[in-house]
Amino acid sequence: GEFYMEAWLRILRPWALYPILTCIILSIHCNRYTFIHYFLILWGIMTLLAAAKGYWQKNKGFDSTELSWLWAYGARTHFIHSGIRYFSFFTDAGLFGASMGLSCTIFTLTFFYTKNLFLRLFYLIVGMAGFYGLLISGTRSAIAVPIAGLGLFLFLSKSWKIGIISFILLVGGVGMLKYTKIGESNKLIRRMRSAFDTEDQSMMARFENQKALNAYMDEMPFGIGMGAIDGVVPPHNKYYFVSICPSDSSLVDVWKQMGIVGLCVFLGMHAILFLSGSYILLFKIRNPEIRGPLTGMLCGCAGILVASYANMVYFQFPNGILIYSCFTFVFLGPYLDKQYSEIHGLPTA
């Protein structure tokens, strides 16, 4: 097989370099507990801008650059039978929806644990803006982000009151979409409901793609190589089909490029991250002011991982950097918690 250095480096950046650099830079520079809120305020402002741009697109239309992209490439996936999918200033609606779902999950959960009144109000507004962005993106897999996030939160909340509220929200939301016709006249709700429809056409097309890939991938336990996608592989190569077949999702993308071995390593690594992160949140952090935002972050990451089964949303900017920033804060948690206790004169042992 050939070695495509440039393509390999292009994939290495989002898959390895950015996560490592994010982790190192945050660990060195964001070593005070107040940075959690600085980080969230900056993220919140960006989320509000993204939701505002989506609102503008929905009510005022697209600008000339967005229209030229749509007519050249994006219209096929963004002008669909259930309406227009808005994408704000993201590369596409799928990424916009997932990123807004991540913001919605993290800021809504952080809202429950924040004492400062202004911050609480800000986090609530950002959470609602995130949910609005998720809806107008028309991305069905994005609904998995708050659903999976709430699912993990049930185990991590440590408060039966908040746990019961989140359980009712979770069961009520999924039940309404799957088993009722509430809001069927609203095309946004109608589109989200199709995420639970097992006969949905675009879902069936994805499963067909994965079946076709499976036949090739059986002989390739280590995949076709990092970066060997999108026209990098010449047509005479027997794995040309695998390289041009649409990945549709981040997990299928990892599977194509690094095989079943790479996918198992990737999922195993994340299982370790989530289990040790959960252990830290449950047993190593005493102050709700620290545990709250960090729990929100871990739950948001879990939601994005689930959504990346259906969409290319895990490594794409800005999600990749945000996810690994969240993991870094969770693992810095015990140190930040001790610092918080010392400053506020609370027992540390």
Total-model pTM? 0.88
Task: Classify residue 152 as exposed, middle or buried by CB count within 10 Å of its CB (0-12, 13-18, 19+).
Answer: buried
pLDDT digits (tens, 9 = 90+) for 184-240: 777 667 666 666 666 666 667 777 777 777 877 888 888 887 877 766 777 777 777
What number of helices (H) and strands (E) belong to the chain?
Answer: 15, 2
pLDDT, residue 83, reads 75
For residues 297 and 176, which has the higher predicted lDDT (pLDDT)?
297
Cβ neighbours for 183, distance < 8 A, ≥ 6 positions apart: 176, 189, 190
pLDDT digits (tens, 9 = 90+) for 137-181: 888 888 889 989 988 998 888 777 777 877 787 778 777 777 777
The answer, yes or no, to whether residue 1 has pLDDT greater than 70, is: no
Tokens of 6: 């440039």
pLDDT, residue 31, reads 83
pLDDT, residue 231, reads 67
Annotated domain spans of the chain: 34-343
Around 244, how many Cα atoms within 13 Å sit in the side-chain half-sphere? 9
